[in-house]
Amino acid sequence: MKNILFITLIFLGVVYATVNFEEKISSIYGLIDNVKDGLAEVTKNASRDANYSFRFLGDTTKTYIMSTYTRYLLAPNYVSNNASEYDTMLTICDARLYATAKHEIEDDRNVLMKQRYNQYYFIETSRK
Amino acid sequence: MSTPNRFIIFMAILIGCIGSLYFFSLLFFIPLYVTTALIVVAAALLFMWIIPSGATPDNNLPAYSNRKEWVGIVILAYGIIWMAIVAPEKANKYGEWDAYTIWNLHARQLADPQHWKTIFRYTDVHADYPLCLPATLAYFMRLFSSPDSLILPFVFHMLVTISLPALIYGELWRKNAVVAAIVLAMFPIQVFYIFQGTSQYADVLLSFFFLCAIICMNYSRQNRKYLMLSVLFLGCCAWTKNEGLLLATVMLVVYSRRYFAKDNIKYTLLTLLAPIAVIGTFKIICPVSNDLVSESGTTTWGYLLDSDRYIMVFNYFILTAGKKFVYIGLLFGIYLTICLVRKKRPGLEFLLFASCLFAYFMVYVLTPKDLKWHLYTSCERLFVQLYPLMLYAIGMDIARMKWSISEIVQQKNSLQQPITAGTKQKIKAAAPSNKHNRGKKEKKR
């Protein structure tokens, strides 16, 4: 009986921690969630084989990639900043800064989405 | 080995088994339901193999009173609740950096049977990392149809983070209850361990496998299945992280007299075939080589003569131990003092720990990467990999010592007693009877 209790305690510990973790994460909505939600439209229509990258306008130090087949956002530093390595590169601009940053956006690029979450623009910037 | 610990060992080997079977199922386009059936069969076979007790040293240990057994359960419950409370506080929603960009990403890619090979596309995100952790997570992601789940990786890592101290506790409890309780408390006290566990990195899983390998090795003399399990766990180490290969090699060297003993060598080599098949297949299909290996050249051997690198690594090791592992430093000091006072040499487990630490030390000395950056980004995690081993080694050594005053006096007397003429006669008298016994045994055979 004590043997069963030993194992049960481990599982109860995991369940308790998980319940608390779930409560914690449901109250957090960060940058990654924001971008992920914003990109939902793009990923819905994109090819599963497509290899996307995006970066924040004006911030050349951070490049993010998002692989549509995983529906998963990947984060900076490990990722190359070279647009030619990706099928599509998107630039994200904070909607509140759009007016001041407009001169950095070339005319022939398409705005895919405007102020979807009142935070970002998604702009197609290059294609292989 | 106690029954709960055999359950934990079963769970650990099942993780390695699921990771391997799922990887092969992706490789050979096997549908999920067939993979699940194979995993269920493997789990049943492993259960039947591992759970029956057989003869182990624990069967010879005196049983505790019912009251003491309950005290043991209460202490364990206290330790687990402590960890379960601290863990969610420390956990990041998406896991920490490497979990997000490597381990969980790989898991999500592996959860897609059509496009899983895209895992090798991004060389910058360590496509060469072995797949035990991501493949296991990916299997459950597909099984529960939730590739976006943030809960699944957390549950998995929590299970490993809690099972590891419980395994050590289960091992030490019968040998010395006080030592077992202290060692268990060292896990929740050392918040960095829990932080690493909930960071969703592979380091705690690696240390879990490594510890399982060592514990199984300690039972290998009683039952050969533990020797085979130990070899399989070493394979799991190498299948989890590239450092695991180094740890497995060090262990095979330190315990070579047991792994490659005349009676065991056949079983060791045959069992090694399973992990070699899995890891070998992965290395063949993975187009990316390890960055440390590919970037090293003849110049890196020149680092061997650079004393500044040794000093820098040593200082960083001390700094990390002092910053992140304060309590273990205290325990280590107490342990060394006891060893000096009692004139006792550290056990084989401690020798293994020291060898692993030395191996990591030399990896840093020879690294082709910027040394400062390499130390900064990985040293703490390597310490976490060896932290349970160190606690287990210290715990086992202290638990093996005799602690009651009568036992100490008896031991001291037996050491100090000069061999008198009377003693010699006693030995002589005993010799023929031994021979007689041996003859009897041979006749029986």
Express each pLDDT in B208-259 by its tens digit: 999 999 999 989 888 889 999 999 999 999 999 988 999 999 999 999 999 9
User: Given a cut of 60, is residue B416 above it in pLDDT?
Assistant: no
Mean pLDDT, rounded, for A64-78: 46
Return the top range by mean pLDDT from A2-11, B226-235, B292-301, B312-321: B226-235
B38-42, B71-75, B355-359: segment of lowest average pLDDT: B71-75
Return the top range by mean pLDDT from A65-69, B123-127, B328-332, B419-423: B328-332
Return the top range by mean pLDDT from A100-104, B27-31, B413-417: B27-31
Helical spans, DSSP H, in B241-306: 242-254, 256-259, 265-285, 291-295, 298-301
Which ipTM value was assigned to this complex?
0.81
User: Given a cut of 80, is residue B74 above it in pLDDT?
Assistant: yes
Task: Quote the CA–CA distance of B255 and B304 in Å, as a whole number.
Answer: 27
Residues above pLDDT 90, as percent of chain B: 35
Instruction: Please list, residue by residue across B270-301, b when 16 or more beta carbons sit within 10 angstroms of its beta carbon and e when fewer do.
Output: ebbebbeebbeebeeebebeeebeeebeeeee
User: Given a cut of 60, is residue B9 above it in pLDDT?
Assistant: yes
Task: Quote the CA–CA distance of B236 and B230 in Å, as a whole number.
Answer: 10
User: What are the extents of the domains in chain A?
Assistant: 30-127
Question: Residue B10: inside a domain, yes or no?
Answer: yes
Express each pLDDT in B421-433 by its tens digit: 555 555 555 544 4
B chain contacts of residue A69, beta-carbon cutoff 8 Å: 109, 112, 114-115, 118
User: Given a cut of 90, is residue B40 above it in pLDDT?
Assistant: yes
Would you call B162 and A14 a contact, using CB atoms and an 8 Å cutoff?
yes
Instruction: Please list, residue by residue across B343-378, b when 16 or more beta carbons sit within 10 angstroms of its beta carbon and e when fewer do.
Output: eeebbbbbebbeebbebbeebbbbbbeebeebbeeb
Closest in B73, B80, B101 to A75, CB measured = B101
**Beta-carbon neighbour count of residue A116 at 10 Å?**
17
Mean pLDDT, rounded, for B433-442: 50
Where does residue B10 rank: exposed (0-12), middle (13-18), buried (19+ CB within 10 A)?
A: middle
Do strands A111-113 and A120-127 pair parallel, antiparallel, or not at all (unpaired)? antiparallel
CB contacts < 8 A, A to B, total 121
Express each pLDDT in B87-118 by its tens digit: 998 888 888 877 877 888 888 888 888 878 87
Phi, psi (degrees; rounded to nearest 5) at B36: -60, -40
CA dihedral (B309, B390, B9, B188) positive or negative = negative
**Beta-carbon neighbour count of residue B242 at 10 Å?**
15
Question: Residue B279: inside a domain, yes or no?
Answer: yes
B chain contacts of residue A39, beta-carbon cutoff 8 Å: none
> CA-CA distances (angstroms) from residue A60 to A55, A64, B143?
7, 11, 40
Would you call B80 and A12 a contact, using CB atoms and an 8 Å cutoff?
yes
Strand, coil or helix: B232? helix
Would you call A24 and B91 a contact, using CB atoms and an 8 Å cutoff?
yes
pLDDT in the model for residue B302: 75
Do residues B218 and B211 touch, judged by C-beta distance below 8 A?
no
User: Given a cut of 60, is residue B203 above it in pLDDT?
Assistant: yes
Express each pLDDT in A23-46 by its tens digit: 888 887 666 676 666 666 666 665
Mean pLDDT, rounded, for B313-337: 84
Instruction: Please list, residue by residue across B176-193, b when 16 or more beta carbons sit within 10 angstroms of its beta carbon and e when fewer do.
Output: bbebbbbbbbbbbbbebb
Would you call B154 and A69 a contact, using CB atoms and an 8 Å cutoff?
no
pLDDT in the model for residue B114: 81
Residues above pLDDT 70, as percent of chain B: 84
Express each pLDDT in B382-408 by its tens digit: 888 998 999 999 888 888 776 655 555
pLDDT in the model for residue A45: 61
pLDDT in the model for residue B376: 87
Q: How many structural domains compose chain B?
A: 1
Question: Residue B368: inside a domain, yes or no?
Answer: no
pLDDT in the model for residue B372: 86
pLDDT in the model for residue B272: 92
| Of the candidates B14, B1, B141, B106, the residue with the CA atom closest to the CA atom of residue B57 | B1
A chain contacts of residue B94, beta-carbon cutoff 8 Å: 32
pLDDT in the model for residue B231: 95
pLDDT in the model for residue A35: 64
pLDDT in the model for residue A75: 44
Please give, rounded to a whole number of angstroms, the shortest distance from the CA of B298 to a CA of chain A: 27
User: Given a cut of 50, is residue A114 above it in pLDDT?
Assistant: no
pLDDT in the model for residue B308: 86
User: Given a cut of 90, is residue B13 above it in pLDDT?
Assistant: yes
User: Given a cut of 60, is residue B77 above it in pLDDT?
Assistant: yes
Label residue B45 by pLDDT band (50, 70, 90). very high
Express each pLDDT in B151-172 by its tens digit: 899 999 999 999 999 999 988 8
Closest in B3, B111, B151 to A3, CB measured = B3
pLDDT in the model for residue B248: 94
A chain contacts of residue B153, beta-carbon cutoff 8 Å: none
Mean pLDDT, rounded, for A78-103: 57
B301 versus B206: which is more confidently predicted? B206
Would you call B122 and A79 a contact, using CB atoms and an 8 Å cutoff?
yes
Question: Residue B325: inside a domain, yes or no?
Answer: no
Mean pLDDT, rounded, for A2-19: 90
pLDDT in the model for residue A108: 46
**Beta-carbon neighbour count of residue B221 at 10 Å?**
14
pLDDT in the model for residue A69: 41
pLDDT in the model for residue B72: 84
pLDDT in the model for residue B117: 80
Domain interval for residue B230: 3-53+71-290
pLDDT in the model for residue B404: 57
Please give, rounded to a whole number of angstroms, the shortest distance from the CA of B280 to a CA of chain A: 26
